[in-house]
A and B are shown apart, each in its own frame.
Chain A
Amino acid sequence: QKEVEQDPGPLSVPEGAIVSLNCTYSNSAFQYFMWYRQYSRKGPELLMYTYSSGNKEDGRFTAQVDKSSKYISLFIRDSQPSDSATYLCATQGYWGANSKLTFGKGITLSVRP
């Protein structure tokens, strides 16, 4: 089992839709959880960051972590064509081998005008 599994996609939604992106992880040592957004031919950029279970909201984006079930989600409300990108979840532990970021494979989202 890979340490971080991400829904493979691709995903295509109409403008204004609510988007739900999901990942699961297997290592209970992971304590930090991130979502990166990557536009075509660009490097990933940090979109959301959290270290606790629960929800974290930033504008139209909400990151949700459930450590008990090892589940990570990103919700995008009122999706826009500019949200079309690849989204990668990532997790990280405190130290040692777990201190390096472990990424999901990414899911490509397309928001249709």
Chain B
Amino acid sequence: SQTIHQWPATLVQPVGSPLSLECTVEGTSNPNLYWYRQAAGRGLQLLFYSVGIGQISSEVPQNLSASRPQDRQFILSSKKLLLSDSGFYLCAWSVRGLGDSYGYTFGSGTRLTVV
């Protein structure tokens, strides 16, 4: 069965510090991968998505970047965190293919607080 791992679960970082959140998927190949941020009252905001190794699409210009060094690994990074980067970050994967949809499977999330 497919599983998605996301860590850490909670993170408190000072303003200006770097960030690295990692997400890995098991039990599937060639998944589409996504990073979302969820802030109170604002719903799920798609940050990045990837359809393959090294292929990253950014949905919102911001202080964050993403990389996909391996097929089932997706990393969210920042060189210098801002207070506004605080939020609940979620990784998700989906089956790749036109005309098929089985929804997205989400990880358990990382709650980031920038202080």
Residues of A whose CB lies within 8 Å of any CB of B are 31-32, 34, 36, 41-46, 49, 51, 88, 90, 92, 94-95, 99-101, 103-106
Contact = CB atoms under 8 A, between A and B. Distances in A.
B107 interface: yes
A100 B94 CA distance: 10
B43 A105 contact: yes
Contacts of B105: 46
B44 A32 contact: no
Contacts of B42: 105
A103 B44 contact: yes
Interface of B: 6, 34, 41-44, 46, 49, 88, 90, 92, 94, 98-99, 101-109, 111
- The binding surface of chain B is classed by DSSP as strand
A88 B92 CA distance: 15
A106 B101 contact: no
A46 B103 contact: yes
A100 B6 CA distance: 21
A27 B34 CA distance: 22
